[in-house]
């Protein structure tokens, strides 16, 4: 669930089956704060609305009940005709609208339909809604890019620690001794990329939360992910630790020169902030 602000009105957005649904109850409150349900019903009884919803369902919903839709369409426009979101959903098995009660209740519409409803409410409101919705999607895309990079680093860290376990840790070692080796190998990467150990970073940043890697920028995280893979390979090849450190440091210098000038990395860094 996400919220955006459109002309001082808070609009809720939910994800359903990987599709965005916007609360048209919230949109209706822009017209009338107290009678949002009535406004939605008034929109639903419009023949043009019924035609639009029917076409949308035909395009997106293989289970749409066309027979019930035809019956509703024939009644649309009559003075006696009325239609609620729940009746529309139940009769036609529609998926473009959802309606529920409770704390997070209300009527939600697929974004295509919600924009159409917003246009019926106010063209100005629709334009601002689209603008804020796009802003939300851009922010989500940036955050996704950051999460992917961070998770990639975590996955590669598992590959790295497995290589340490298989090649550097004799079975006779105690758990405490094993932890010391893991820490030592982690600092091989820290020294290669950051020029300091984790402890040295903590000592020089007493007020910072997290660790040296939590405070890394996107270029450093990408480089770190690559170094973890390479170090795992070097370990499997039985390369001594000092030699691995020298090689990894040279690679880190080369990669950071390239990464710090990459516009896409800069965009991901902006998303992280």
pLDDT at 170: 47
Are residues 70 and 196 part of one domain?
no
pLDDT at 133: 86
The low-confidence residues of the chain, meaning pLDDT below 70, are 102-104, 141-160, 163-174, 177-182, 260-273
Q: What is the mean pLDDT of the chain?
A: 81
Cα(42)–Cα(59) distance, integer angstroms = 24
Task: Flag whether 176 is in a domain.
Answer: yes
Contact yes or no for 23/11 (Cβ under 8 A): yes
Of the residues 73, 95, 121, which one is the last residue of a structural domain?
121
Q: What is the total count of domains within the chain? A: 2
Residues 24 and 113 in one domain: yes
Among the candidates 65, 93, 121, a domain finishes at 121
- Within this chain, do residues 149 and 267 fall inside the same structural domain, yes or no? yes
Residues 152 and 265 occupy one common structural domain: yes
CB within 8 A of 21, min separation 6: which ones?
Answer: 13, 14, 15, 98, 108, 109, 110, 111, 114
* Phi, psi angles (nearest 5°) of residue 169: -105, 105
Say how many CA atoms lie within 13 Å of 241 toward its Cβ.
12
CA distance 251 to 237: 17
pLDDT for position 200: 86
**pLDDT at residue 51, as a whole number:** 93
Per-residue model confidence (pLDDT) at position 173: 52
- pLDDT at position 57: 94
**For residue 133, is it within any domain?**
no
Condensed to tens digits (0 to 9), the pLDDT of residues 206-224 reads 888 778 888 888 778 888 8
Q: Are residues 83 and 194 in the same domain?
A: no
Biggest distance spanned by C-alpha atoms of the chain: 87
**Cβ atoms within 10 Å of 112's Cβ, excluding its own:** 15
**Residues 106, 162 within the same domain:** no
φ/ψ bin of 102: left (φ > 0), alpha (ψ from -120 to 50), beta (otherwise): left
In a domain, 198, yes or no: yes
- The residue among 121, 153, 175 that closes a domain is 121
Tell me if 81 is assigned to some domain. yes
The reply to whether 117 and 144 lie within a common domain is no
pLDDT at residue 158 in the model: 66
Q: Is residue 128 part of a domain?
A: no
Residues 110 and 143 in one domain: no
Same domain, residue pair 157 and 264: yes
Quote the pTM value.
0.53
Count other C-beta atoms under 10 Å from residue 171's C-beta: 4
pLDDT tens sequence across 89-113: 999 999 999 988 766 678 999 999 9
Q: How far is CA 179 from CA 168, 184, 227, 233, in A?
A: 12, 9, 20, 20
List helix spans (H) across the chain. Answer: 24-28, 36-44, 47-60, 66-75, 85-92, 111-121, 123-167, 175-194, 198-204, 218-236, 241-259, 263-272
Is 149 found in the same domain as 83?
no
Residues 55 and 177 in one domain: no
Domain that holds residue 212: 138-272
Q: Residue 174: its pLDDT value, please?
A: 65
**175 within a domain of the structure (yes/no):** yes
Give the DSSP per-residue string, 194-218: HSS-HHHHHHH-TT--S-TTTT--H
Q: Is residue 184 part of a domain?
A: yes
Q: Is 232 domain-assigned?
A: yes
Do 60 and 183 lie in a common domain?
A: no
CB atoms within 10 A of CB 257: 10
């Amino acid at each position: 669930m996400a919220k955006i602000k459109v002309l001082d009105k808070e609009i809720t957005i939910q994800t359903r089956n990987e599709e965005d649904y916007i609360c048209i109850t919230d949109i209706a409150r822009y017209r009338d704060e107290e009678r949002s349900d009535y406004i939605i019903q008034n929109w639903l009884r419009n023949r043009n609305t019924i035609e639009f919803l029917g076409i949308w369902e035909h395009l997106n919903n293989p289970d749409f009940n066309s027979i019930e839709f035809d019956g509703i369409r024939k009644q649309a426009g009559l003075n006696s005709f009325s239609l609620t979101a729940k009746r529309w959903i139940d009769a036609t098995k529609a998926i473009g609208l959802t309606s529920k009660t409770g704390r997070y209740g209300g009527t939600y519409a697929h974004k295509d339909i919600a924009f159409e409803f917003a246009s019926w409410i106010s063209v100005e409101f629709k334009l601002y809604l689209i603008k804020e919705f796009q802003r939300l999607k851009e922010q989500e895309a940036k955050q996704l890019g950051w999460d992917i990079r961070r998770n990639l680093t975590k996955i590669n860290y598992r590959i790295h620690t497995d290589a340490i376990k298989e090649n550097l840790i004799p079975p006779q070692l105690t758990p405490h001794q094993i932890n010391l080796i893991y820490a030592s190998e982690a600092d091989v990467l820290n020294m290669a990329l950051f020029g300091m150990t984790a402890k040295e970073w903590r000592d020089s940043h007493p007020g910072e939360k997290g660790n040296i890697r939590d405070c890394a920028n996107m270029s450093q995280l990408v480089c770190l992910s690559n170094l973890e893979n390479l170090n795992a390979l070097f370990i499997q090849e039985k390369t001594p630790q000092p030699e691995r450190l020298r090689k990894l440091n040279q690679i880190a210098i080369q990669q950071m020169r390239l990464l710090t000038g990459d516009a896409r990395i800069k965009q991901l860094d902006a998303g992280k902030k």
